[in-house]
Structure 1
Amino acid sequence: MLCQDYAKKPYFPHLSDTTEILSWINRKHRLLDEFLSYHADIICLQEVDRYGDHWRERLLKNGYESTYTQRTGGKPDGCATFWKSEKFETRQITKNSELETHEKCDLNGNVVTSSNSISKFLTNNVANLTLLKHRSSEKLVCVVNLHLFWDPSFPEVKLCQIFYTMKQTKDYLTSLSLEDIQIFFCGDYNSMPDSEVYEFLTKDSISLVECENDDGEKTFKHQITNPFGTATSLYKAVCGDEPTFTNYTKNFKGCLDYVMACNYPTSGEEKGILVSRALQILTEEQASEFEALPSIKNASDHISHAFDFDIMKL
């Protein structure tokens, strides 16, 4: 969404008139208009600030209940999940995860020991898990809304974060002994389709190369397994490939955002998701009309994903 605290001229040097494009009084209306234009039953937003004094009430007036997890460490933003109350009811209290301690993030338990190595995992990122019941079908939908670490220099941190998020989700759902759950991992992964994070999501396992920590000590070398087997990118399922970009700025253009779907086989039956349509992503010509994003037409530097789908049994 682009947190208002980060909507500043130094981050977006292509903008000449930052007042009209980046000011809160203008952006809040354009953002709300975009969110409502999709007529979505579930909305997942990242980099959300002003949730309590703006977004919660604005979307509640339009029929959405919601939950919010703010980042730790005094960060101003977080992840917010909204759902149409006429379509869904909450099945369970929302579970929030802080992806910030090495015990949670390190793939090999107590291997990371130096203070320098531990500190790089303290990124103040969060994930938000909401368990919903579809009113008409009574099917359960688990929505995990996440925002992984941004820095491209630390792919191992992002890999640890998604591993921890998926493992905690699997453990949580197992503890509830529920059946027929459809699971979505939605958000800003800050990871390209050729990254280890994407490979881990879409394959049943990934082999890690040997790494060294900041002190030159060996850290880990093993294979990690996706707790859900595999995940399917909804955009790729419809369009055949990921979009060229979902983030389009002056200094970076690439695909970082995904909606991944997992099946959770507790009843012994095969389950799946039928995706019928995907929102058409902006073309490069459209995105570059004003050189980069955000622009007078797009209030965020990221481009929205939206899908029509049916939950089904295969």
Structure 2
Amino acid sequence: MTAAAPAEGRGVGPEARPTLPVARTFKVISYNILAPKYSGFNSYCPPQLLDWAYRRPLVLRELDFHSADLIGLQECDMEFFSRELGAWMAERGMEGEFLPRNVGPVPGPTEGIALLWRSSALEAVARRSYVFAEMGPEVAGLPPEIADTEPWRKLKELGEGAVLVLLRHRPTGQLLLGAVTHLFWNPAFPDVKVLQAALLCGAMAAFAQEASGAAGQAASVPVVLCGDFNSLASKRLPDSFDPQVPADGLASGVYTLLSRGSLPPDHPDHPHSRVWGPGPGGPGGGGGADASKAASGGAERFPALPMGCSGLRLTSLSAEAFGREPPLTTRTASFAGCLDYVWLSSGPGSKLAVVSALAMPYDNEDGLPSMGPSAAARPAAGGAGDFGGGGGRRDGSWRDPLADIAFRPIPDEEYPSDHLAVGGELLLLP
């Protein structure tokens, strides 16, 4: 048999075959940029490096370097958003939505959260902003009587919230929900942060369903949630807030809720497990099962109800890419830990896959986190050490983020914030 002659135009050899870009990818970054009015807390840093006039161009340079299509910012000064960042966005074809935090940790110029998106890649279909203090318990699937508990009363005093934008990915026409938040900072109130996270999930689930239906897409919409959650993926050493920590680690209530989809009432950070001490809003440690009233103000104790994510199934971008969370995303003179995350829809039918993740800039040659054993070596789901970090005791496999990770306190000459940006590239599946 005589071989057929090659078709005209097919004379390209294997060494000349190109690699074609995937139109279904987009890049996302979450970044707490340290609002100017909070820089006084970073007194370990030379004053000239804390000056906003020095840090502002570094923030913009870093955003340029990451060149993300979707950006979630926390501690974004409102004037900066309106002026310098507004001009920066206009030059790069980006749009944005800002939510001020009108009740913040200290007085001074207003700061808040912002969600930015590149117009050539993402089209805004619907937008909504929420303040957690203005939401009702039903948003999180909770009964109305929790409004008489101390954790809920504390939540009502705060100014945190979330920005949600339904976006259409222009190359594919697919919808996704972009969101940004910044949860309450105070480590003495993990139960209040859990309530904020549950309200956020309820708002995202309802908005995604409502907005996608109005946009003519009945299928579930994937979620990309950026934020500083002020909650550790794994705590290994006891402190004044958690005097007792299991040897294989304790995941915060917020991290457990978001990564597992629910938080049982016996978790130390669940509002039911915490008994509030005397004084205005002073929580104590975990309470006994026979405590029927909070110690402060005679308020009802939070009921022993599991907290949920309103049906959302989420996973951390960094944990998906690295097999575990980075040991730190913030580093000051006295604290280091992982507080910043990009959360993604996960589970069967998820339309998002992680293509790459932003490397960590400390003491590891390949940019992978230096915390704990690999994902394959982690204990089975259900063990205390399975929450975001590697299991195991302090035997050389785990490293203290503050004492053992060779990364200097920030801000400094290179890094303009006390937080590191996190994120990576995502693939929208058909």
2:67 maps to 1:39: yes
2:321 maps to 1:238: yes
| Structure index of larger Rg | 2
Q: Percent identity?
A: 25
Does the 8 Å CA contact 2:152/2:192 hold for their aligned counterparts?
Answer: no
Does the 8 Å CA contact 2:165/2:178 hold for their aligned counterparts?
Answer: yes
Q: Give 2:352's match in structure 1, choosing from 270, 273, 280.
A: 273
- After superposition, residues 143-182 of structure 1 pair within 5 angstroms as 143-176=178-211, 177=213, 178=217, 179-182=219-222
Does the 8 Å CA contact 1:101/1:122 hold for their aligned counterparts?
Answer: no
Residue in 1 that maps onto 2:230? 190
2:131 maps to 1:98: yes
2:125 maps to 1:86: no
Distance 1:35 1:116 in 2: 36
Does the 8 Å CA contact 1:121/1:157 hold for their aligned counterparts?
Answer: no
What TM-score, normalized to structure 2?
0.66
Residue in 2 that maps onto 1:309? 426
- After superposition, residues 228-267 of structure 1 pair within 5 angstroms as 228-262=311-345
Structure 2: which 5+ runs fail to align? 1-32, 234-250, 267-271, 276-293, 368-401
Does the 8 Å CA contact 1:278/1:308 hold for their aligned counterparts?
Answer: yes
Please provide the CA RMSD for this pair.
2.5
Residue by residue over 1:59-112, the C-alpha shift from the partner in whole angstroms, topping out at 9 and shown as x without a partner, is 2212211111111237711111111111111111x1000012473588442234
Structure 1 residues 198 and 88: CA distance shift in structure 2, 3 A: same
1:185 partner SS: strand
Q: How much does 1:116 deviate?
A: 8.7
Q: How much does 1:115 deviate?
A: 7.5
Q: How much does 1:38 deviate?
A: 0.8
Q: Please tell me the residue identity of whatever aligns with 2:418.
A: D
Residue by residue over 1:240-293, the C-alpha shift from the partner in whole angstroms, topping out at 9 and shown as x without a partner, is 0000000101121000011011159xxxx8233221111101216999888411
Residue in 2 that maps onto 1:208? 265
Structure 1 residues 162 and 90: CA distance shift in structure 2, 3 A: same
1:163 partner SS: helix
Q: Please tell me the residue identity of whatever aligns with 1:24.
A: W
Residue in 1 that maps onto 2:20? none
Q: How much does 1:299 deviate?
A: 0.1
What TM-score, normalized to structure 1?
0.89
Structure 1 residues 292 and 284: CA distance shift in structure 2, 3 A: farther
Residue in 1 that maps onto 2:158? 123
Distance 1:290 1:226 in 2: 34
1:132 partner SS: strand
- After superposition, residues 3-152 of structure 1 pair within 5 angstroms as 3-8=35-40, 11-15=41-45, 17-19=46-48, 21-49=49-77, 50=79, 51-73=81-103, 76-92=110-126, 94-101=127-134, 103-104=136-137, 107-113=142-148, 118-152=153-187
Q: Please tell me the residue identity of whatever aligns with 2:349.
A: E
1:7 partner SS: helix
Distance 1:116 1:232 in 2: 26
Q: How much does 1:114 deviate?
A: 6.4
Q: Please tell me the residue identity of whatever aligns with 2:323.
A: G
2:321 maps to 1:292: no
Q: Please tell me the residue identity of whatever aligns with 1:224.
A: M
1:123 partner SS: coil
